Structure 1
Amino acid sequence: MSASKRVLLIIAGGIAAYKSLDLIRRGRERGFSFRVILTKGGAQFVTPLAVSSLAGDRVYSDLFSLTDEAEMGHIRLVREADLIVVAPATADLIAKMALGLADDLASTALLANDKPVLIAPSMNAVMWASPAVQANVATLRGRGVHVIGPGAGDLACGEVGDGRLADPLEILAAMLRLAAPGPLAGMNALVTSGPTYEAIDPVRFIGNRSSGKQGHAIAAALAAAGASTTLVSGPTAEPDPAGCKVIHIESASEMLAAAQGALPADIAICAAAVADWRPAQLANQKMKKREGGEPPRIELATNPDILATLSAPGPQRPRLVIGFAAETERVAEFAQAKRRKKQCDWILANDVSPATGTFGGAENEVHFITASGAESWPRLTKRALATRLVDRIAQHFGKSVA
């Protein structure tokens, strides 16, 4: 690394805490500097003196230290770090992270964090396999937290299985990957994601089945690649991806205004499933059933075309504009026509027929459409597809991809 990277290392309670001392030593050899939060449980396995001697700095443990908290110490610890590492990460601390609890210095600092986070779980094999722990880890992954390990082998409790803390060199390798500047560092990216809701009255709306999973995965991958990423999201159950500025909207008009407000951008990816129409008139009160049960007539108006607006030539046009085409037939053919009509650079076309499970599912299969033709990508998880797309974007801009 060209410059020292500042790591906030959180050592939680577990016999594997002794390995964190080796992680500090080896990390400093490779240019990392460490500040350490030692939890009450962690201090049962390694001493503050041993940790501070290796880190070359004092050890932090007390949330209510008068000296530290007079300066909002838990905030300062996070703001002055480039990377947060939790090793070992216990089931208890993982649960606190997933639930957003903040009852000690470690959990409070993690909740106040806006930096990349790497956790290295370590626990009993049965505990690791429990549905509660797996659900909490899945939640953290969905928020962009990086997870390494655990490995399999003999455990301190005498059992054998998954639960061993990853080797310090493995953790260090993951830290080096996160600390290295991403291929899109210095670039600005805009992503739209999820559905739009077009109000009929204060209760009802016109919407669609988009879950936002693909758009959110793309935003997370762009942020991980170093791009300063703004995500404009319609209503979705997906958690906000780590490292992104997220703007929540409901309607297509709100999405367009937010997207235009995020310009200028180098990259714009329109992954949202924007409603084509909206009710021409919004009822101020809930519409009542008519006598005889005859449904009301709802006149529709055309929504703004966000992809075409961003793709239009002009000084604000992003250097690369990418759209999505959700089709149920003749997917590649219709997508190529859409790319020409909208004037965007690339289109990712997917079949959203009910049998494919694309809407709301974990996987996607797309045709990658450019001016030079169509390329069929294999069926991938939405995260893997996002990574592949971001790699292609980096190559487009002549950036090296690890």
Structure 2
Amino acid sequence: MKGKKIVLGVTGGIAAFKAAALASRLYQAGAELRIIMTPEAKEFITPLTFQALTRSRVYDDTFAEADPSVVSHIDVADWADVFIVAPASANTLGKLANGLADDMLTTTMMATLANVYVAPAMNVNMYNHPSFQRNKETLKRDGYRFIEPGEGYLACGWIGKGRMAEPEDIMQFVQDAEDVGTPLAGKRVLVTAGPTHEHIDPFRVVTNPSSGKMGFAIAEEAARRGAEVTLVAGPVTLSTPGGVQTRIDVESVEDMREAVLTHYDTSDVVIKAAAVSDYRPETVYEKKQKKKDDGLEIPMVKTPDILHELGEKKTHQLLIGFAAESERLEEYAESKRQRKNADLIVANEIGKAGSGFRANENTITFVDKNGAVSFPTQSKHEAAAEIMSWLQKRIGDA
């Protein structure tokens, strides 16, 4: 953060007290700061607090033009390297999503060309409201990067999602994004994640233990590097990563196949991290099947092989697949790469304690036309970064 010119926008909400801590941390890290407060923010905390913590000017009035040689909101917009809004209220984000600029903060944000990061903070029901979710998706498409709120006890008494991210997490998110830059800008990346459900009857399914964490980490990392990301997610409980433009929720293999093929032709990169079912029940019963004393036999049939179909249809796309293996990783992964016409197979060692399905870490091996490269056990976010590094090099070579 040292030397970065950062505008910190503060909107109305009890989380404004966290913004003071964030401003102090940014100042101590060597950033140059300018603070913009909405009128509502001043109901919770004073401009003097930010001025004392950062030795920086605080703007709170669009028409307070102290320097006649410049127009304040344009001057601040042009000055900024980075724009952070924390807390970002539903009201301010709603105005921005609809092109409204009626205070110093919104006018400056609409004029800036800097990277914009927003950390929402609000009641859980406000956060889940369809209008806010529509506004959020609009702003993501406009290039805003969301630092997702946490879950827990909220100031209003409710328990749920809506608590502003902690100052240190906001700093880390912004620093990571700024360090990486946007080498994938202009690239369309399609990512699949999670398990699939194949119904036996309305209440029972054939599935696997995939949590979707790996695919979601890949989608987040691709978006962080500037790609336009479409995430096709099986049945998971994960929140959409910040920066992901489109999320499509599916259940079955056929659902996932349809979603992937719909977006395949316009994609530059496809990363098939989902753990899809290889088989489905031959018959899906309309009613719940009663328990039987002598057991239950379920005839199974093969599901469509999505990766193989994508390999056959491949024109300009880079195709990355995953292989969950418990033995002979390199051999099986290379065989899969050739059979599926993939550019890279990420062999995921399963059965290792603390790694693989549901865990927060993976032990992976890359297998491409140049051979195999193995990595030590690492977090899924670190593994996602390695995949993106491979992708950037491949695009650069091309």
Give the drift of 1:336: 1.2
CA displacement, residues 39-94 of structure 1 (integer Å, 9 cap, x when unaligned):
12133645998544589249x99x899xx99x9567546794751356xxxxxx86
Alignment of 1:1-400 (within 5 A): 9-10=9-10, 13-14=16-17, 17=20, 26=32, 39=41, 40-43=43-46, 45=48, 50-52=59-61, 53=64, 56-57=72-73, 72=95, 75-76=98-99, 80=110, 83-85=116-118, 96=122, 99=124, 101=126, 114=140, 115-117=144-146, 149=168, 174=175, 177=178, 182-244=182-244, 245-263=246-264, 264-290=266-292, 293-314=293-314, 317-353=315-351, 355-398=353-396
Aligned residues: 335
Give the drift of 1:16: 7.2
Give the drift of 1:296: 3.0
The 3 A distance-change label for structure 1 pair 253 and 373 is same
**Counterpart AA for 1:363:** E
The 3 A distance-change label for structure 1 pair 335 and 147 is farther
Assess if the C-alpha contact under 8 Å between 2:355 and 2:377 holds in 1.
no
Following TM superposition, where does structure 1 have runs of at least 4 consecutive aligned residues deviating by more than 6 angstroms?
5-8, 107-112
Assess if the C-alpha contact under 8 Å between 1:75 and 1:109 holds in 2.
no
Give the drift of 1:27: 5.7
The 3 A distance-change label for structure 1 pair 200 and 18 is closer
Distance in 1 of aligned mates of 2:177 and 2:365: 34
Distance in 1 of aligned mates of 2:391 and 2:90: 46
Give the drift of 1:359: 0.9
- Which residue of 1 is the match for residue 54 of structure 2? none
Assess if the C-alpha contact under 8 Å between 1:7 and 1:84 holds in 2.
no
The 3 A distance-change label for structure 1 pair 318 and 238 is farther
Assess if the C-alpha contact under 8 Å between 1:206 and 1:278 holds in 2.
yes
Give the drift of 1:243: 1.9
Distance in 2 of aligned mates of 1:358 and 1:277: 21
The 3 A distance-change label for structure 1 pair 174 and 266 is same
Could you say what secondary structure the match of 2:46 adopts?
helix
Distance in 1 of aligned mates of 2:299 and 2:248: 29
The 3 A distance-change label for structure 1 pair 147 and 261 is farther
Distance in 1 of aligned mates of 2:260 and 2:39: 39
TM-score by length of 2: 0.69
Could you say what secondary structure the match of 2:396 adopts?
coil
**Counterpart AA for 2:218:** I
TM-score by length of 1: 0.68
Identity of aligned residues (%): 29
Assess if the C-alpha contact under 8 Å between 1:118 and 1:148 holds in 2.
no
The 3 A distance-change label for structure 1 pair 229 and 311 is same
The farther-off stretch of 323-332 and 269-278 is: 323-332
**Unmatched runs of 5 consecutive residues or more in structure 1:** 87-92, 120-130, 134-138, 151-164
Assess if the C-alpha contact under 8 Å between 2:7 and 2:33 holds in 1.
no
The 3 A distance-change label for structure 1 pair 174 and 37 is farther
Assess if the C-alpha contact under 8 Å between 2:97 and 2:136 holds in 1.
no
Could you say what secondary structure the match of 2:168 adopts?
coil
The 3 A distance-change label for structure 1 pair 322 and 100 is farther
Give the drift of 1:341: 1.1
CA displacement, residues 315-352 of structure 1 (integer Å, 9 cap, x when unaligned):
xx452100000011112211111111111010010111
The 3 A distance-change label for structure 1 pair 224 and 205 is same
Distance in 1 of aligned mates of 2:372 and 2:354: 20
Could you say what secondary structure the match of 1:350 adopts?
strand
The 3 A distance-change label for structure 1 pair 318 and 309 is farther
Assess if the C-alpha contact under 8 Å between 1:9 and 1:37 holds in 2.
no
The 3 A distance-change label for structure 1 pair 354 and 108 is closer
- Which residue of 2 is the match for residue 127 of structure 1? none
CA displacement, residues 15-58 of structure 1 (integer Å, 9 cap, x when unaligned):
974995997x9467xxxx97857512133645998544589249
Assess if the C-alpha contact under 8 Å between 1:8 and 1:84 holds in 2.
no
Assess if the C-alpha contact under 8 Å between 1:18 and 1:46 holds in 2.
no
Distance in 1 of aligned mates of 2:377 and 2:235: 26
Assess if the C-alpha contact under 8 Å between 1:202 and 1:284 holds in 2.
yes
Distance in 2 of aligned mates of 1:18 and 1:296: 60
Kindly report the root-mean-square deviation, in angstroms, between the aligned alpha carbons of the 2 structures: 4.6
Assess if the C-alpha contact under 8 Å between 2:271 and 2:319 holds in 1.
yes
